[in-house]
Amino acid sequence: MNAADAAHFDASTREEDLASWVASCPRAHVPRAALVTLLPEQHRLYAGRSTNETARIRGFILAAFERVGLPEAALPYVLDELQNGNDAYLVAAAAKALRGADAPADVAFAAAFLHTARENIRYADAPVTFDVYKPSRPVERSTTAADEIRKTIEWIGEVDCCAVPASSRPSRRTLRVESLELEDQDGRHVRFGEFFSGKPSVVVFFYSRCDNVRKCSLTVTKLAALQRELTARGLDGRVRLTGITYDPHFDLPPRMKSYGLARGVEFGENVRFFRALECFDDLRSAFDLGVNYIGAIVNRHRIELYVLDPRGRIARSFTHLTWSERDVAAEIERLLRGRPWQNAARAAMASLASILIALLPKCPLCLGAYASALGLSGLQIVPHRTWLLPAALILVLAHLVTMGRRAMRTSRFAPLGASAAGTLVLMAGSVVWSMPALSFAGAALMIAGAAMNATPYFDVTNALRSMRRAYTRFVARSHLAWPPSR
């Protein structure tokens, strides 16, 4: 067999044929890449296979990386087994796979995962072997997950490295399941596109029959913790939190509700669990879910959390490894803030009202001159700015109200103060007196306030404190004193 054969493996492939191909893979780049393509949980190779058969295939593939070399693309699957696995064969295989790295330093960050795996597997360990695919009992030359973990920890040694490679951000893509009908934990029906629009959303996948407590049960428990984290940040009501079951025929509304309540989820209009009433395969395909089945029973799945933007597109995914509530909350805050160019656009639009007042002509002849300067010949001259001024004032007021609400939420009052002061100066120069210089100064101050408001981490007080600390350190290092002693 050669590496191209991997593309043809599917549910009809005999285990023995696959194992023979894996065992014949040499240490080279192409076989490594081919092995990685067989690891996604949703691969057709696992469709219809039992949980034990699926684990046996995956474990034999993972263990092969020790011999052929460990590519970076295989790390999420290896770390997943070490962090969340409860099968001795798979955990032992993952520990062996790490030793296929080019150097211990390349996988030193996995030391923490190895220690976690040793604790997780302590009461579920068993003799295993990778010398043959289907050994006879008793197993000769057996090993255990604990032994493989110990060997890998000793192989890595003491290396000062702990950073897990960052996952790349997916490009935003529309899920195209807007019309899919969902049923929530209370039996209410809603279309996917109706619910997942208008606000950012967090979607986790689970099923109540999952027997690995570090996957579905922990995922829903952490979703409840995320709900509390968002409440503490003042974001409740601005985000939707949902769980969708992999098992829609078994997880009926009462079962979904009791599963969530038992793990601390507080249901509401923005916090709901769903099952697909039909066409779950469409949902599975849209998210590219890491799950496979034997009949209607899940035989393998990964941890999955997706952050959707207000248009229902995937903005970020957290898969395989246990996610942090703070990381997800930070992603939600990033979505609510928008992208830098969007913030700049908001600042420009917020300042438009102030500029409008500053530039409003004082008389009909001035308006005509403006029109002529722009080449707009033939423009009818409006009588006066009697309706333009109130409209601009309303825009300015709306701008200040918006900034005031943000200031109350973030406790950052410097931008509001700058815009409010700019408004007073602008009104004085444009309405009370005819002083263009004063009008432009007020407009500039309002623009500065809007820009400060659009910059998420700008804080005048902290900036002044930082300057004061820097000056204090400078004085301490240079042994200067002020005023100088006589």
User: Are the beta carbons of 443 and 355 closer than 8 angstroms?
Assistant: yes
Q: What is the pLDDT of residue 413?
A: 76
Q: What is the pLDDT of residue 450?
A: 73
3-class secondary-structure state, position 352: helix
Q: What is the pLDDT of residue 400?
A: 75
- Long-range contact pairs involving 159-166 (C-beta distance under 8 Å, separation at least 24): 159/104, 159/105, 159/108, 159/111, 160/108, 161/105, 161/108, 161/109, 162/108, 162/109, 162/111, 162/112, 163/109, 164/79, 164/109, 164/321, 165/72, 165/75, 165/109
The pLDDT of 211-234, averaged and rounded, is 96
DSSP letters, 57-106, are HHHHHHHHHHHH---GGGHHHHHHHHHH---HHHHHHHHHHHTTSSSGGG
Rounded Cα distance between 22 and 57, Å, is 10
The pLDDT of 37-45, averaged and rounded, is 96
Q: What is the pLDDT of residue 415?
A: 78
DSSP letters, 93-155, are HHHHHHTTSSSGGGGGGGHHHHHHHHHHTTTT---B-SSSSSPPSSPTT-B-HHHHHHHHHHH
Minimum mean pLDDT range among 306-310, 393-397, 466-470:
466-470
pLDDT in tens, 281-330: 999 999 999 999 999 899 999 999 999 999 999 999 999 999 999 999 99
Q: Rounded mean pLDDT of the chain?
A: 83
Q: What is the pLDDT of residue 259?
A: 98
* Furthest C-alpha separation in the chain: 102
Q: Give me the percent of the chain exceeding a pLDDT of 90.
A: 60
Could you tell me whether strands 271-276 and 181-184 are parallel, antiparallel, or unpaired per DSSP bridges? antiparallel
Q: Give me the percent of the chain exceeding a pLDDT of 70.
A: 75
Tokens of 318: 């957290």
Instruction: Decide if pLDDT at 54 tops 90.
Output: yes
The pLDDT of 350-373, averaged and rounded, is 45
pLDDT in tens, 413-462: 777 788 788 778 777 776 666 676 777 777 777 777 777 766 554 455 55
- CATH 3.40.30.10 describes domain 181-337: yes
Element housing 240 (H / E): strand 240-245
Of residues 278 and 174, more confidence is placed in: 278
Of residues 167 and 307, more confidence is placed in: 307
Task: Give the domain ranges of the chain.
Answer: 3-156, 181-337, 340-462
Short-list 388, 395, 397, CA closest to 370: 388
Rounded Cα distance between 361 and 367, Å, is 6
* Stated pTM of the model: 0.70
The pLDDT of 59-83, averaged and rounded, is 97
Rounded Cα distance between 252 and 255, Å, is 5
Tell me which DSSP letter residue 271 carries: E
Tokens of 29: 């780049």
Q: What is the pLDDT of residue 153?
A: 96
Binned at pLDDT 50, 70 and 90, residue 477 comes out as low
Binned at pLDDT 50, 70 and 90, residue 384 comes out as very low
